[in-house]
C-alpha cells in the first residue's frame, strides 16, 4: 500500500540541472515561431528602452510641424492632434506599457507562487483557505474587478500595476499549487524533513526550484495578459493618465482621427497586437520546450 501512494516519478527526475538558460534557448530553437518571437521581443524591448537615448525628441512637447502633420525626416511618424512627435510617444508609451506589463507580471508571480506553494505544501486549513480565496477571485469577472478597484484606488501607475497584478495571479497560484502537490510527494522532500529542515527551507530550496520552469511559462503568458489589460483599461480612460503616453491611451486618443490620420491608431494597435502575440508564442514554445511530456499535436 505504501508503495502505491508514492507516485512513480523516476523518469521525471532525470532533469539535467546543468542545463541552464542556453539549453532552454536551444530547445526553443526547434520551434521557429517561438524562437522568432523571442528575438523579436528582445529587439522590441531594446528599441523601446534604449531608443529614447537616441531619439531625444520629447514626447510631450508641442512641435512646430503643427497638428496631424504627415511623416517627415524630423517626425518619422508625423505628429498627433496636439502636434506632439508620434515616434517619441510610441517609444515612451511602449516603455510605460511594457514596464506595467512586466511589473504586474512579477507581482502576480509573487502572489501566485506564495499562495500556491503554501496551499500545496501545508495542506489542511491553509490549503482550504488559500484555494477558496483563489477560486473566489477567479469567480469575479476580471474586468469588473479592475474597473471598480481603479475607480476606488485612483489611476496612478503603481495602482494600475497593483490592480492588474491582483486580477491576474490566480492561474499562477493554481499551477504552482498543483506542482507543489506533486513535488512534495517525492522522497527527497521527505528526506529534507527527516534531516530537520524547516518548512521554509524545504519550500524555497527543494520545491520551488523544481517549479521554476512552470513559473517561467506562466509568467510569459501573464505578461501578455497584463499588457492587454493595461491597454484595455487605458482605452476606457481608467489607465495611466495623459499626458503620460502608453500604447493604450494613444489608441484611445486616436479614435476621433481614425479617418483623417489612421496612422495614430494603427501604430499603437499593431504594436500591442504583435507584442502580445509574440509573448503568447514564446510562452507556448517555452511550455513545449520545458515539458518533455507535452506531445505536440
Q: Which residue has the cell 483623417?
A: 260
Q: Which of 1, 73, 139, 152 binds other proteins (CB under 8 A)?
A: 1
Span interacting with other proteins, options 57-65, 101-109, 172-180, 192-200, rule CB under 8 A: 192-200
Cβ atoms 117, 184 nearer than 8 A: no
Q: Is 13 in the site for other proteins (CB under 8 A)?
A: yes
187 binds other proteins (CB under 8 A): yes
Q: Examine residue 110 and tell whether it contacts other proteins (CB under 8 A).
A: no
10 lies in the binding site for other proteins (CB under 8 A)? yes
Binder among 16, 21, 293, 296 for other proteins (CB under 8 A): 16
Q: What are 182's three cell numbers?
A: 506533486
Q: Are the CB atoms for 146 and 237 separated by under 8 Å? A: no
136-175 footprint of other proteins as x/- string (CB under 8 A) = ----------------------------------------
| CB atoms inside a 10 Å sphere around CB 30 | 12
Angle of helix 247-254 versus helix 263-290 axis, rounded to 10:
140
CB of 15 or CB of 136, closer to other proteins: 15
In this structure, how many other beta carbons lie within 10 angstroms of the beta carbon of residue 35?
Answer: 19
Q: Check residue 121 for interaction with other proteins (CB under 8 A).
A: no
| DSSP type of residue 241 | P
Q: Which stretch binds other proteins (CB under 8 A): 132-140, 181-189, 239-247, 272-280?
A: 181-189
The verdict on 9 binding other proteins (CB under 8 A) reads yes
Q: Is 50 in the site for other proteins (CB under 8 A)?
A: no
Cell 477558496 sits at which residue?
132
Helix residue ranges per DSSP H, the chain: 2-5, 21-29, 32-54, 86-122, 124-139, 142-153, 157-168, 170-183, 187-194, 199-201, 208-235, 247-254, 263-290
- Sole window of 97-105, 158-166, 191-199, 246-254 interacting with other proteins (rule: CB under 8 A): 191-199
Question: Which triple of cell numbers denotes residue 208?
Answer: 520551488
Tell me how far apart the alpha carbons of residues 142 and 284 are, in angstroms, rounded to a whole number: 23
Which window, 4-12, 35-43, 70-78, 111-119, contacts other proteins (CB under 8 A)?
4-12
* Set of cell numbers at residue 55: 531619439
Single out the residue of 66, 196, 295, 297 in contact with other proteins (rule: CB under 8 A).
196
Q: Which residues pair with 85 in a beta bridge?
A: 79
Residues in 207-226 at the binding interface with other proteins, rule: CB under 8 A: 209-210
Question: 84 forms bridges with which residues in the sheet?
Answer: 62
User: Cell digits for 157?
Assistant: 501607475
Task: Please tell me whether residue 197 binds other proteins under the rule CB under 8 A.
Answer: yes
Helix (H, G, I), strand (E, B) or coil at 62: strand
Nearest distance from residue 127's CB to other proteins, in Å? 15
Shortest Cβ distance from residue 185 to other proteins (Å)? 9
Q: Where does this chain bind other proteins (CB under 8 A)?
A: 1-3, 6, 9-10, 13-18, 186-188, 190-198, 201, 206, 209-210
Amino acid at each position: 500500500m505504501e508503495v502505491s501512494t508514492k507516485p512513480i516519478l523516476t523518469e521525471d527526475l532525470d532533469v539535467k540541472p546543468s542545463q541552464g538558460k542556453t539549453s532552454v534557448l536551444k530547445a526553443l530553437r526547434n520551434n521557429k515561431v517561438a524562437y522568432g518571437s523571442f528575438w523579436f521581443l528582445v529587439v522590441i524591448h531594446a528599441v523601446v528602452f534604449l531608443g529614447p537615448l537616441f531619439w531625444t525628441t520629447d514626447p510631450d512637447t508641442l512641435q512646430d510641424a503643427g497638428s496631424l502633420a504627415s511623416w517627415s525626416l524630423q517626425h518619422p511618424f508625423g505628429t498627433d492632434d496636439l502636434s506632439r512627435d508620434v515616434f517619441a510617444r510610441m517609444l515612451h508609451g511602449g516603455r510605460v506599457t511594457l514596464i506595467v506589463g512586466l511589473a504586474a507580471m512579477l507581482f502576480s508571480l509573487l502572489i501566485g507562487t506564495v499562495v500556491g506553494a503554501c496551499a500545496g505544501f501545508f495542506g489542511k486549513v491553509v490549503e482550504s483557505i488559500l484555494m477558496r480565496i483563489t477560486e473566489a477571485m477567479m469567480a469575479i469577472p476580471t474586468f469588473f474587478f479592475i474597473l471598480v478597484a481603479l475607480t476606488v484606488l485612483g489611476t496612478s501607475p503603481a495602482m494600475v500595476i497593483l490592480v492588474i497584478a491582483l486580477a491576474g495571479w490566480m492561474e499562477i497560484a493554481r499551477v504552482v499549487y498543483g506542482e507543489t502537490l506533486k513535488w512534495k510527494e517525492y522522497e527527497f522532500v521527505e528526506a529534507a524533513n527527516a534531516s530537520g529542515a524547516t518548512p521554509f527551507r524545504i519550500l524555497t530550496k527543494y520545491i520551488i526550484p523544481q517549479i521554476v520552469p512552470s513559473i517561467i511559462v506562466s509568467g510569459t503568458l501573464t505578461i501578455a495578459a497584463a499588457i492587454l489589460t493595461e491597454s484595455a483599461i487605458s482605452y476606457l480612460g481608467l489607465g495611466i493618465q495623459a499626458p503620460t503616453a502608453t500604447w493604450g491611451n494613444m489608441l484611445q486618443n486616436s479614435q476621433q482621427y481614425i479617418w483623417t490620420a489612421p496612422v495614430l491608431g494603427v501604430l499603437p494597435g499593431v504594436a500591442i497586437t504583435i507584442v502580445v502575440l509574440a509573448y503568447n508564442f514564446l510562452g507556448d514554445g517555452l511550455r513545449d520546450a520545458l515539458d518533455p511530456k507535452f506531445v505536440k499535436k
